[in-house]
Amino acid sequence: MSRPGPPGPPSETGPDEPGTPVADGEQQPFGLGFPLPGDGRGSDSFLTVFVALAANLLVAVAKTAAALITRSASLTAEAAHSWADTGNEVFLVVANRRAAKPADRGHPLGHGREAYVWSLFAAVGLFVAGGAFSITHGVGQLRAPTAADDFIVGYAVLAVSFLLEGMSFRQSVRQARADARTMERDLIEHVLATSDPALRAVFAEDAAALTGLVLATAGLAARQVTGSAVPDAVGSILVGILLVAVAVVLINRNRRFLVGEEADPRVRAAVLRALLEMPEVARVTYLRLEVVGPRMISVIGDVDLAGDDVESHVAVRLRALEARVSSSPAVAGTVLSLSAPDEPSLAP
């Protein structure tokens, strides 16, 4: 794939309108007919990650202090959870910055896939520092329980933590709901399918954090009522299992995007319609769209050009068509070839 290059700048009319001829032989940039999630809202993921980072850092400090005071296994697990989340947000900040680097000669499709590499590191961190530690600590408390006291401090910190985590979760839900509406998906479907790993990670981690806080509160309360360390230790183990489950889902999603994930069928249908609406395209016989970064795709296809032309002119027209498709802010690069006469046409 030698021809893809950096995407062109958005036109004044925006990326949502299919390209059509205009005066003086000029043409509008290629459009998909609808905005991909995040088009025009590039700062949303950064804001979501920043809010999560600030909330998790405050919560981690508070939980660590409360765990030291109360000596609660559930609170210790939650402290480990929050420190893991804080470290993960740092990875996500790096992911956003690295993925935003422009395309160059060595990376003609850009650096978008770096987002999945760093998000994968974050998910592994959640698995080890959060899940494995919490389970190990809970099992240790079952074998050799320690005394716990100052339960009021624990409850107060858990309440404040729930408030801060709720604020972060609200921001991730706000972004996910707006993107899901664009793609005509429900909320959970979009979080699992989105090409934005930062949004998926923050949403999943915040949801797990709120659930973990409920488990930790129940474990702490049961320990206070019964005087037994078992409920508290079980709470720690349950928090760990929750974090392991979330981490496995995140690892798998990042793995799939790293090895090559085809774009959503709705995006493919929109690109096919946009190509067929171009006056120079008679038909399309092959089309593959691959996700190459958050809200970025590469386009590979076979087209039959309208009219009859000499070979040298056909090559020039194909290159011009590729450049036009790549002018979309959502397209990292385009490679088009000529269709064979006997190849069946694709229907939109």
Q: Are residues 273 and 177 in the same domain?
A: no
Please check the confidence at residue 1 and state whether its pLDDT lies above 60.
no
Lowest-pLDDT choice from 112-116, 144-148, 152-156, 204-208? 144-148
CATH of residue 47's domain is: 1.20.1510.10
- Asked whether the CA dihedral 277, 17, 200, 115 is positive or negative, the reply is positive
> Residue 223 burial by CB count (10 A; 0-12/13-18/19+): exposed, middle or buried?
buried
Helix (H, G, I), strand (E, B) or coil at 300: strand
Residue 2 is assigned to a structural domain of this protein: no
Residue 348 is assigned to a structural domain of this protein: no
Residue indicated by tokens 């049961």: 222
CATH of residue 305's domain is: 3.30.70.1350
Q: Are residues 288 and 233 in the same domain?
A: no
pLDDT at 33: 52
For the stretch 103-125, pLDDT in tens is 888 888 889 999 999 999 989 98
- Residue count of the chain: 348
Grade residue 4 by pLDDT with cuts at 50, 70 and 90: low
Residue 203 is assigned to a structural domain of this protein: yes
From 259, 275, 300, the end of a domain falls on 259
Helix (H) / strand (E) element for 153: namely helix 151-183
From 259, 277, 304, the end of a domain falls on 259
Say how far residue 329 (Cα) sits from the centre of its chain. Answer: 18
Residue 38 is assigned to a structural domain of this protein: no
Residue 10 is assigned to a structural domain of this protein: no
For the stretch 14-49, pLDDT in tens is 333 333 333 334 445 565 555 554 444 445 777 888
Amino acid at 306: A
Residue indicated by tokens 């032309």: 309
Determine the structural domain holding residue 77 and report its residue range. 43-259
pLDDT at 290: 93
pLDDT at 141: 87
Q: Are residues 215 and 274 in the same domain?
A: no
Domain count, the chain: 2
Q: Are residues 248 and 287 in the same domain?
A: no
Q: Are residues 275 and 167 in the same domain?
A: no
Please check the confidence at residue 75 and state whether its pLDDT lies above 70.
yes
User: SS3 breakdown of the chain: % helix, strand, coil, rounded to 5?
Assistant: 60, 10, 25
For the stretch 296-338, pLDDT in tens is 999 999 999 988 777 778 889 999 999 999 888 889 999 999 9
Q: Are residues 214 and 90 in the same domain?
A: yes
Q: Are residues 316 and 331 in the same domain?
A: yes
4 vs 254 pLDDT, higher one: 254
Q: Are residues 216 and 270 in the same domain?
A: no
Helix (H, G, I), strand (E, B) or coil at 248: helix
Query: Half-sphere exposure (CA, 13 Å, Cβ side) for 264?
Result: 20
pLDDT at 31: 58
Q: Are residues 235 and 295 in the same domain?
A: no
pLDDT at 128: 86
Please check the confidence at residue 82 and state whether its pLDDT lies above 50.
yes
CB of 302 closer than 8 Å to CB of 320: no
Mean pLDDT of 275-285: 91
Residue 212 is assigned to a structural domain of this protein: yes
Q: Are residues 279 and 252 in the same domain?
A: no
Query: Half-sphere exposure (CA, 13 Å, Cβ side) for 279?
Result: 6
Please check the confidence at residue 261 and state whether its pLDDT lies above 60.
yes
pLDDT at 116: 94
Tell me the residue ranges of DSSP E strands in 249-318: 261-262, 281-293, 296-305
The phi and psi torsions of 113 (rounded to 5 degrees) equal -70, -15
From 259, 290, 306, the end of a domain falls on 259
pLDDT at 38: 45
What number of other Cβ atoms are within 10 A of residue 288's Cβ? 15
Residue 7 is assigned to a structural domain of this protein: no
Largest CA distance in the chain: 88
Residue 1 is assigned to a structural domain of this protein: no
pLDDT at 300: 94
Q: Are residues 245 and 270 in the same domain?
A: no
Please check the confidence at residue 246 and state whether its pLDDT lies above 90.
yes
Residue indicated by tokens 């027209």: 317
Q: Are residues 187 and 67 in the same domain?
A: yes
Grade residue 208 by pLDDT with cuts at 50, 70 and 90: very high
Q: How far apart are the first and last CA of the chain?
A: 25
Please check the confidence at residue 251 and state whether its pLDDT lies above 80.
yes
